[in-house]
Chains A and B, each alone.
Chain A
Amino acid sequence: MSSTRTRRTRAALAGGLGLALALSACSGGGDEGGGDGGGDAAADVDCAAYEEYGDLSGKTVSVYASIVEPEAKQQTDSYIPFEECTGATIEYEGSREFEAQLPVRLRAGNPPDIAYIPQPGFLKSIVADFPDSVVPAPEGVVANANEYYTEGWVNYGTVDGTLYATPLGANVKSFVWYSPSAFESAGYEIPTTWDDLISLSEQIVEDGGIPWCAGIGSGEATGWPATDFLEDVVLRTAGPEVYDQWVNHEIPFDDPQIVEALGTAGEILKNPEFVNGGLGDVTSIASTEWVDAGLPILDGTCWMHRAANFYQANWGEGVTVAEDGDVFAFYLPGESEDDKPLLGGGEFVTAFADRPEVAAFHAYLSSPEWANAKAEVTGQGWISANSGLDPELLQSPIDQLSFDLLTDESYTFRFDGSDQMPGAVGTGAFWTELTAWIANDKADDQVLADIEAAWPAS
């Protein structure tokens, strides 16, 4: 008996030791990574601009956003000057499920310190649903916002008169991508009015081509590129004032002016002669992924593709994006040459904690120092509406053009409407109904009436 007992005790000890070793081996490494990421960049950082934030050594700020690799790397790189100068640590976490997970984390009482919210409408519902979690912008942030951003941009981060969120990045959506060399050899001019655009399309049809290619596929978010298209047309046919009333539901979603705009959009998107170059018939717009939709331009099976400046990331290796390169974009023209509405979007920095280091980081993100640091580490595909951003730092021609349009006062900027609407519409019915509009040839007025019906009562 006693010998069995001893043997069993030894076996237990041995097993325990092995397990303990394995456990401690697992837990050891984790602490190393976060603190000193990218120490090399420290040398050339001028810390003078960061003194106002004070010494934040040992403090940590967690950031949660929808931006994932490879753009996430550019985000974390742009925090390095702040981390080096103040000693704070920024823990960045990007998730493709951001919009679904942020409310879950808030409801569970586990909010991030800072979140980048890409839709003002989502910000509104977060403020309404979780008034105790979200923190109004502190003084330094408010000062930065008012100094470096236009009133319009400040208003997108304001809910019921209180500024909560400041703009981070920005994008410009009123672009038509084309191939400059193909246009030149065919003798096509870049259109400067909407009528020119339509007659150019008809010209291309006459010459035996299919002018437009489009795609609205985006997994469960399928349909969003079509909402951008409609918004761009509403800005042109009905004007910015009607657009604002429409977005804020001061006029019904299916107002006659919107029905007219959808009809105008349909003259391109649902015209079998105009679409869908290299991709199929009208319904193929619904099944084509938006990231692939412009690529037929490179094959010469399509001439024009309406997409935002960030579409440049999809052209692939070896394609030069420049006015004299393989592809470039022109401004989607207004009704006349003087009528220049501009549709765009962006993310908004929202804080869920009022600790000093969080306020300091929030202020940093709204400052020109950050915008310039971000531009320096980003090869292409990023701009900001921050007026302190040095355009020389932007590295791609389309980004420079976007920034020029964004800061040119002759253009009337409006924020993406679907991003401002309540979730049931902006990320629900608006997407699915426009998908049905294309995939099932659903009638214009029926589409708009069904979206109107989905608008939440309260």
Chain B
Amino acid sequence: MDWLVNADTTAEKLVLMLVAIGLFVLVMAVILLGVDRVKRVPQWVVVVAFVGPAMAAIAFGLVYPGLRTIRDSFYDRTSSNPVGLDNYVAAFTQDAFQVVLRNTLLWVVLVPLLATFVGLVYAVLVDRTRFEQFAKTLVFLPMAISMVGAGIIWKFVYEYRPDQQGVAQIGLLNQLLVWLGIEPQQFLLNQPFNNFFLIAVMIWIQAGFAMTVLSAAIKAIPDDIIEAARLDGLHGVGMFRYITVPSIRPALVVVVTTIAMGTLKVFDIVRTMTGGNFGTSVVANEFYNQSFRISNLGLGAALAVILFVLVIPLIVYNVRQLRLSEDIR
């Protein structure tokens, strides 16, 4: 039966194929016919059959690695000797890591707020205009680009060349500056503004997501409310402030928290554009550095746990808001 494992000739391969097909058909037939014949199945079997695999996958793929990471964060660089809280002390006291925490804070505050704000204003502005579809597509497109791709694109936009005879600018932004008669800038190098130029990339990606969700929410505001407000004399900014925003509050919360969670995990943009140099590293990037490049598993795990702890309040808030809005319904 060696040909079953190592099929060499075409004939053997064909036979093997037929055997494989036959086996597959047999198994499928048994399952599909069996489903109809079995009438009474104990409920626990059904529960285990449906929930079991998911639970097993979560336990093995999420809970176990999570617990293991928490354990490792109290161990040394090869995760063999316990070191107590040393890793956390290092993560919170060393200058380099304080910069990392500061940057993460900057990202988490700025990206969700600005991306949501931009998305919201844009959704309101283009709502029910003639070119709405086209305008929305434009802003939504960056969502389809991977973070690494976006990082590379923007790296080119920020690219620096000196303003000198015989040297041509290849970065869009610096070329604009040169046309305006301003010296080209090292956008990715000059601290602390380089962080904002990285953050702009994330906003560019996420604003489309915010716009799409919020636009749908705006369209779902009942017309009678809007008409009543109009009869009461609300227009423009007033309408936006007192009717639109309160009506879509649940959607706003979901958008802000979702983007915030995505931002906490940001890694690709920083790694692609600066590699964490020039004071732009964030927790996720530093966690990768420590774990995989410097092989300091303990410190890497501690940073991962810090990231996890930072995400928890966002998730709790998000779930509570969801519950609240469901209660109202």
The chain A residues found within 8 Å of chain B, CB to CB, are 5, 8-9, 12-13, 15-17, 19-21, 23-24, 28, 99-101, 103-104, 125, 129, 218-223, 278-281, 283-284, 286-287, 299-301, 423-424, 427-428, 432, 435-436, 439-440, 456
B191 at the interface (CB under 8 A from A): yes
> In the bound complex, do residue A283 and residue B32 qualify as a contact, i.e. CB atoms below 8 Å apart?
no
> In the bound complex, do residue A12 and residue B28 qualify as a contact, i.e. CB atoms below 8 Å apart?
yes
Give the nearest-CB partner of B36 in chain A: A5
> In the bound complex, do residue B20 and residue A424 qualify as a contact, i.e. CB atoms below 8 Å apart?
no
B313 at the interface (CB under 8 A from A): no
Residues of A within 8 A of B13 (CB): 28
> In the bound complex, do residue B20 and residue A287 qualify as a contact, i.e. CB atoms below 8 Å apart?
no
CA distance A423 to B32 in the complex (A): 57
Residues of B within 8 A of A456 (CB): 77
B25 at the interface (CB under 8 A from A): yes
6 further contact pairs, Cβ within 8 A, besides A13-B28, A16-B21, A287-B189: A12-B29, A16-B29, A125-B295, A284-B162, A299-B167, A301-B164
Q: Which 3 A-B pairs have the closest CB atoms?
A: A100-B292, A220-B275, A280-B162
Closest approach, in angstroms, between the C-beta of A423 and any C-beta of chain B? 5
What are 18 A-B pairs at a CB distance below 8 A? A12-B28, A13-B28, A16-B24, A17-B25, A19-B24, A20-B20, A24-B21, A129-B295, A220-B289, A222-B274, A223-B277, A279-B167, A286-B278, A287-B186, A287-B188, A300-B166, A423-B293, A456-B77
* Chain B residues within 8 Å of chain A by Cβ, number: 39
The B265-305 residues at the A interface (CB cut-off 8 A) are 271-272, 274-279, 289, 292-296
B85 at the interface (CB under 8 A from A): no
B146 at the interface (CB under 8 A from A): no
Q: Contacting B161 at CB < 8 Å: which of A8, A101, A279? A: A279
B33 at the interface (CB under 8 A from A): yes
> In the bound complex, do residue A283 and residue B28 qualify as a contact, i.e. CB atoms below 8 Å apart?
no
> In the bound complex, do residue B36 and residue A20 qualify as a contact, i.e. CB atoms below 8 Å apart?
no
Residues of A within 8 A of B137 (CB): none
Closest approach, in angstroms, between the C-beta of A424 and any C-beta of chain B? 5
Closest approach, in angstroms, between the C-beta of A11 and any C-beta of chain B? 9
Residues of B within 8 A of A279 (CB): 161-162, 167
B319 at the interface (CB under 8 A from A): no
Against A, the Cβ 8 Å flags (1 = close, 0 = not) of B12-51 are 0100110011001100110011001000000000000000
> In the bound complex, do residue A299 and residue B166 qualify as a contact, i.e. CB atoms below 8 Å apart?
yes
> In the bound complex, do residue B160 and residue A20 qualify as a contact, i.e. CB atoms below 8 Å apart?
no
CA distance A7 to B293 in the complex (A): 58
CA distance A279 to B189 in the complex (A): 14
Which of A24, A283, A284, A435 has its CB near the most chain B CB atoms (within 10 A)?
A: A24
Residues of B within 8 A of A436 (CB): 277-278
> In the bound complex, do residue B25 and residue A20 qualify as a contact, i.e. CB atoms below 8 Å apart?
yes
CA distance A256 to B96 in the complex (A): 25
The chain B residues found within 8 Å of chain A, CB to CB, are 13, 16-17, 20-21, 24-25, 28-29, 32-33, 36, 77-78, 96, 160-162, 164, 166-167, 186, 188-189, 191, 271-272, 274-279, 289, 292-296
Give the nearest-CB partner of B270 in chain A: A220
> In the bound complex, do residue A286 and residue B295 qualify as a contact, i.e. CB atoms below 8 Å apart?
no
CA distance A279 to B16 in the complex (A): 63
Closest approach, in angstroms, between the C-beta of A210 and any C-beta of chain B? 9
Residues of A within 8 A of B275 (CB): 218-222
Q: Contacting B189 at CB < 8 Å: which of A5, A423, A439? A: A439
Give the nearest-CB partner of A104 in chain B: B292
Give the nearest-CB partner of A126 in chain B: B295
Closest approach, in angstroms, between the C-beta of A89 and any C-beta of chain B? 14
Residues of A within 8 A of B28 (CB): 12-13, 15-16
Residues of B within 8 A of A278 (CB): 162, 164, 166-167
> In the bound complex, do residue B295 and residue A435 qualify as a contact, i.e. CB atoms below 8 Å apart?
no
Given known A-B contacts A129-B78, A278-B162, A287-B160, A13 and B25 have beta carbons under 8 A apart: yes
Closest approach, in angstroms, between the C-beta of A107 and any C-beta of chain B? 9
> In the bound complex, do residue B277 and residue A284 qualify as a contact, i.e. CB atoms below 8 Å apart?
no
> In the bound complex, do residue B33 and residue A9 qualify as a contact, i.e. CB atoms below 8 Å apart?
yes
Which of B20, B292, B293 has its CB near the most chain A CB atoms (within 10 A)?
A: B293
Give the nearest-CB partner of B23 in chain A: A20
Give the nearest-CB partner of B22 in chain A: A20
Q: Contacting B21 at CB < 8 Å: which of A17, A223, A283, A440? A: A17
Closest approach, in angstroms, between the C-beta of B314 and any C-beta of chain A? 28
Residues of B within 8 A of A28 (CB): 13, 17
CA distance A13 to B25 in the complex (A): 6
Residues of A within 8 A of B24 (CB): 16, 19-20, 23
> In the bound complex, do residue B189 and residue A220 qualify as a contact, i.e. CB atoms below 8 Å apart?
no
> In the bound complex, do residue B166 and residue A99 qualify as a contact, i.e. CB atoms below 8 Å apart?
no
